[in-house]
Each structure stands twice: as C-alpha cells, then as structure tokens.
C-alpha cells in the first residue's frame, strides 16, 4: 500500500507540474498573439492620421509665413513696399489657404479595447476540479495464467461493477526487462501470448478504457507467469515446406515434392488444446484445396504418406471432412479458409483395468472449426498420452501457425 501510495503521489505531482508549465506556456503565447494584434491595428490605423496631421501643420506653417511676409510688406519702407506687396500677392495667389485634407470623423477612428470573457475561469475551474481521480484499486485485474507450449494464456476480469469497459490493453515483459510492451488491445478478456521462452518468468499487467472515453484506466497489479512447456515446432528440412525462424509457421512452397510435415517431437499432450491457424502467405487467398489435405495429430511419424488420412491418426481436411484412422466420418466441419482456426482437444478414457496394459486405449477427441465441433472416441492399441502433429497440402500458398 505504501509503495503504491508513494508512486501515486509522484505521478500526480509530476502530472500537475507538467500541466502548470503547459498552461503557462499557452497563456504566454496567447498574450503575445493579442499584443501583436494590438500593435498591428495601431500601426495600420495611425498612419493615415499622422499623414493628415503633417499636411495640416504644413499648411498652417505656410499661412504663418505668408502672414508675416504681408505684415512686413505693409509696414516696410515706402521704396520697398511695392516690391514686397507684389511678391506677397504672387505667393498668396499660388497658395490655397482654404484647402485642408479630409479629417475622418471621430466615430470612424479606431478605439482599441480588450474583450476578456470571465467565464473562462469558471470553465477551467470546473474542468480542473473534475480532472483526475484516485482509485483504491484498478477496475480490471489479472485472473488466471494457463500454460501453453511456448506461450501463456492470460485471462483477466472486471472487478469494478460501475465500470463499463470498451477495450482492454495487455502488456508484458521479461522479469529482467525494464519496460513493458503492448501485446494485445481489444474487447476480449483473454489472450494467448506466444513466443514465450519456457521456464522464464514474465510479468503481465492489464488496463481498460471506459465506454466513450479516450484515456486508459490505471494498470492492474503486475503478476508473474511462466510456462514449462516447450513450444511446438515443425520439423525442418522437408523440401515442400518453408518454416519461420521459430519453426512454428509452415508455408507450403511451390516445390513439386509432397508429403506430410510432422512436428519435431511429440509435444502435444492429452489435456491440452492444440491450435492450427491458417494465415495469409503474402497473397490474398490461401492455396487451392485438395481432398488429401489434412491437419491433425498422430501416434508416430510415418514417412512415405502424402496425407494424415491413415491409420493411427486423426485429422481434418481443408474441405471440412474428418478422418479417424484413415476412415471418413459422417460428421463434417466447415471448410478451412483464410483466418480459420482449428483446435484439437483430447482426454484419456479408460476402458477397464487392462486398458493400459496392452488392451484397447481410448482417447476422446474434440475437433473445433469455425464455431462448430465434432466429438468422437479414438481407439488405439497402445497407451499414448503425447502425440505428434502434422499437416499436408498438395498445392502452394497454405500457411499454418501452430500453438
């Protein structure tokens, strides 16, 4: 509590100090803009009046000079009087003493003033008093971590009944890292974080954005999760397929060579969920389908086959047909297309005390695709709780992510 309270104080003080600095900067910029506007109006308005004043002063000065010259001619010597009067008369004829520039009326002369709306302070006051909240706990919290091969399924939940979430934001980091990074933003309340190193601690945190709001809620308390399960990997080296750097994505290339691409090891265990996701391979559509195409699991790797539609294997074809030990079932799932997700879930079903001693061994299999599923029992002649997975495609363009 003390640690979070101290951190909250620091965040509040830093935020409001930043606001003060920003508000002062904005007010200074606005003041400078208004002062420049006053200067511009003053210069534009005063210029014609100054010119008018100069013309008037020049005319008055000329009239004064002419008046003094006339007085001098009248009161001067008789000999020079006629000559001065003649000069005065010529100047008087050329100077228009009754002509003055037009002076604007007083109502037409600009009179500057500042209009300052006092309601700004009221608006700011109301906004400031509503700005920021202090919560005793975040509105969403992490709820559960589920180990996945090379990943962790993270679930979270809303703990504030009055909070209406619009989006969630999940972040994670290695415990040795200093910064969190976004891994999911959306409306779901769970997400599988992939590319997780096994037996390494990761920290997770989640927040939410309220309905109609832009800001995110406070972060949940960071929690640590890890997986002990090694990631699923395809076997490298098969000519017809290209693999990603982590070997969890297989792309059927344009090689004419065909065959089944298996997992590197039997890393799928009963009780887990195995997921295949069809992703785009740089083109707008997936490859052309073929009845031999298959996605599924098997007891062992068997080379020489071009499909998983064989004994000791269960699979789904790209047209949605389900095969068990090479036989097609009557139930059918939707066709596999771009973005499709196919999942396999298996659990052990015991047939009796001798089921694990050479007798029949039964697995209950659930295959789901596009919100539909089929459930059946897969009978084997040996105990098997870890399985290989595989895929086979006849035409290029298919790209499958496994996790």
- Percent of the chain at pLDDT > 90 equals 51
Is 396 in contact with 252 (CB distance < 8 Å)?
A: yes
Asked if residue 234 is part of any domain, the answer here is: no
- Does the pTM of the predicted model rise above 0.75? no
| Residues 125 and 201 occupy one common structural domain | no
133 Cβ neighbours under 8 A, 6+ residues apart: none
Asked if residue 144 is part of any domain, the answer here is: yes
HEC per residue, the chain: CHHHHHHHHHHHHHHHHHHHHHHHHHHHHHHHHHHHHHHHHHHHHHHHHHHHHHHHHHHHHHHHHHHHHHHHHHHCCHHHHHHHHHHHHHHHHHCCCCCCCCCCCHHHCCCCCCCCCCHHHHHHHHHHHHCCCCCCCCCEEEEEEEEECCEEEEEEEECCCCCCEEEEEEEEEECCCCCCEEEEEECCCEEEEECCCCCCCEEEEEEEEECCCCCECCCCCCEEECCCCCCCCECCCCCCEEECCCCCEEEECCCCCCCCEEECCCCEECCCEEEEEECCCCCCCCCCCCCCCEEEEECCCCCCCCCCCCCCEEEECCCCEEEECCEEEEEECCCCCCCCEEEEEEEEECCCCCCCCCCCEEEEEEEEECCEEEEEEEEECCCCCEEEEEEECCCCCCEEEEC
Counting the structural domains of the chain, the total is: 3
Q: Name the domain boundary from 85, 107, 130.
A: 130
Asked if residue 232 is part of any domain, the answer here is: no
Is pLDDT at 70 greater than 70 in this prediction? Answer: yes
CATH code of the domain covering residue 268: 2.60.120.920
* Higher-scoring residue by pLDDT: 347, 82: 347
Q: Name the domain boundary from 66, 99, 130.
A: 130
How far is Cα 36 from Cα 32, in angstroms, rounded to an integer?
Answer: 6
Domain that holds residue 147: 140-227
| Residues 344 and 391 occupy one common structural domain | yes
Is 152 in contact with 192 (CB distance < 8 Å)?
A: yes
pLDDT band at 262 (very low <50, low <70, confident <90, very high): very high
How far is Cα 58 from Cα 94, in angstroms, rounded to an integer?
Answer: 15
| Residues 113 and 185 occupy one common structural domain | no
pLDDT band at 58 (very low <50, low <70, confident <90, very high): confident
Average pLDDT over residues 307-329: 94
pLDDT at position 188: 95
Residue-wise pLDDT tens digits, 344-396: 999 998 655 544 444 578 899 999 998 899 999 998 888 888 999 999 999 99
| Residues 25 and 166 occupy one common structural domain | no
Asked if residue 151 is part of any domain, the answer here is: yes
| Residues 247 and 307 occupy one common structural domain | yes
- Percent of the chain at pLDDT > 70 equals 92
Which tokens is 338 given? 């771009």
pLDDT at position 284: 46
Asked if residue 7 is part of any domain, the answer here is: yes
Is 260 in contact with 392 (CB distance < 8 Å)?
A: yes
Q: Name the domain boundary from 130, 152, 176.
A: 130
Is pLDDT at 267 greater than 50 in this prediction? Answer: yes
CATH code of the domain covering residue 199: 2.60.40.10
| Residues 73 and 208 occupy one common structural domain | no
How far is Cα 393 from Cα 318, in angstroms, rounded to an integer?
Answer: 9
| Residues 255 and 177 occupy one common structural domain | no
Q: Among 183-187, 256-260, 261-265, name the one with the lowest average pLDDT.
A: 256-260
Asked if residue 236 is part of any domain, the answer here is: no
Asked if residue 135 is part of any domain, the answer here is: no
157 bridge partner residues: 141
Residue-wise pLDDT tens digits, 177-221: 889 999 999 999 999 998 899 999 999 999 999 888 888 988 998
Is pLDDT at 77 greater than 70 in this prediction? Answer: no
Residue-wise pLDDT tens digits, 321-342: 999 999 999 989 999 888 889 9
| Residues 367 and 288 occupy one common structural domain | yes
* Higher-scoring residue by pLDDT: 339, 232: 232
pLDDT at position 89: 76
Residue-wise pLDDT tens digits, 112-158: 888 888 888 888 888 888 887 777 788 999 999 999 999 999 999 99
| Residues 124 and 144 occupy one common structural domain | no
Average pLDDT over residues 222-247: 92
| Residues 277 and 377 occupy one common structural domain | yes
| Residues 125 and 150 occupy one common structural domain | no
pLDDT at position 74: 73
Is pLDDT at 8 greater than 60 in this prediction? Answer: yes
How far is Cα 267 from Cα 230, in angstroms, rounded to an integer?
Answer: 8
Is 135 in contact with 221 (CB distance < 8 Å)?
A: no
Rounded to a whole number of angstroms, the distance between the first and last alpha carbons of the chain is 39
Asked if residue 235 is part of any domain, the answer here is: no
pLDDT band at 171 (very low <50, low <70, confident <90, very high): very high
pLDDT at position 169: 96
| Residues 35 and 162 occupy one common structural domain | no
């Amino acid at each position: 509590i003390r640690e979070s309270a101290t951190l909250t104080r620091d965040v509040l003080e830093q935020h409001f100090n930043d606001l003060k600095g920003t508000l002062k900067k904005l007010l200074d910029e606005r003041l400078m803009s208004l002062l420049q506007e006053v200067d511009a109006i003053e210069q534009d308005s005063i210029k014609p009046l100054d010119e008018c004043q100069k013309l008037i002063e020049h005319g008055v000065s000329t009239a004064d000079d002419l008046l003094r010259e006339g007085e001098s001619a009248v009161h001067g010597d008789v000999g020079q009087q006629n000559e001065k009067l003649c000069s005065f008369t010529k100047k008087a004829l050329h100077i228009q003493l009754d002509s003055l520039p037009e002076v604007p009326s007083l109502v037409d002369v600009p009179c500057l003033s500042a209009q300052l709306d006092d309601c700004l302070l009221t608006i700011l006051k109301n906004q400031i008093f509503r700005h920021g909240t202090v919560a005793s706990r975040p509105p969403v919290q992490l709820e559960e971590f589920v180990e996945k091969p090379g990943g962790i399924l993270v679930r979270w939940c809303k703990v504030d009944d009055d909070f209406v979430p619009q989006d969630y934001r999940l972040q994670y980091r290695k415990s040795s890292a200093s910064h969190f990074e976004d891994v999911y933003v959306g409306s779901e309340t769970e997400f599988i974080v992939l590319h997780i190193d096994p037996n390494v601690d990761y920290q997770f945190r989640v927040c939410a954005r309220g309905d109609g709001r832009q800001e995110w809620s406070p972060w949940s308390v960071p929690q640590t999760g890890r997986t002990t399960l090694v990631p699923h990997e395809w076997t490298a080296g098969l000519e017809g397929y290209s693999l990603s750097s982590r070997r969890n994505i297989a792309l059927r290339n344009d090689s004419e060579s065909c065959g089944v691409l298996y997992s590197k090891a039997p890393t799928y265990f009963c009780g887990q969920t195995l997921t295949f996701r069809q992703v785009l391979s740089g083109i707008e559509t997936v490859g052309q389908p073929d009845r031999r195409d298959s996605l599924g699991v098997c007891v062992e790797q068997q080379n020489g086959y071009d499909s998983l539609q064989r004994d000791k294997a269960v699979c789904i074809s790209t047209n949605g047909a389900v095969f068990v030990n090479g036989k097609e079932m009557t139930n059918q799932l939707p066709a596999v297309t771009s973005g499709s997700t196919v999942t396999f879930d298996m659990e052990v079903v015991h047939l009796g005390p001798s089921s694990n001693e050479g007798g029949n061994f039964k697995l209950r299999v659930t295959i789901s695709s596009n919100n539909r599923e089929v459930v059946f029992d897969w009978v084997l002649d040996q105990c098997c709780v870890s399985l290989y997975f595989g895929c086979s495609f006849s035409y290029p363009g298919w790209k499958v992510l496994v996790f």
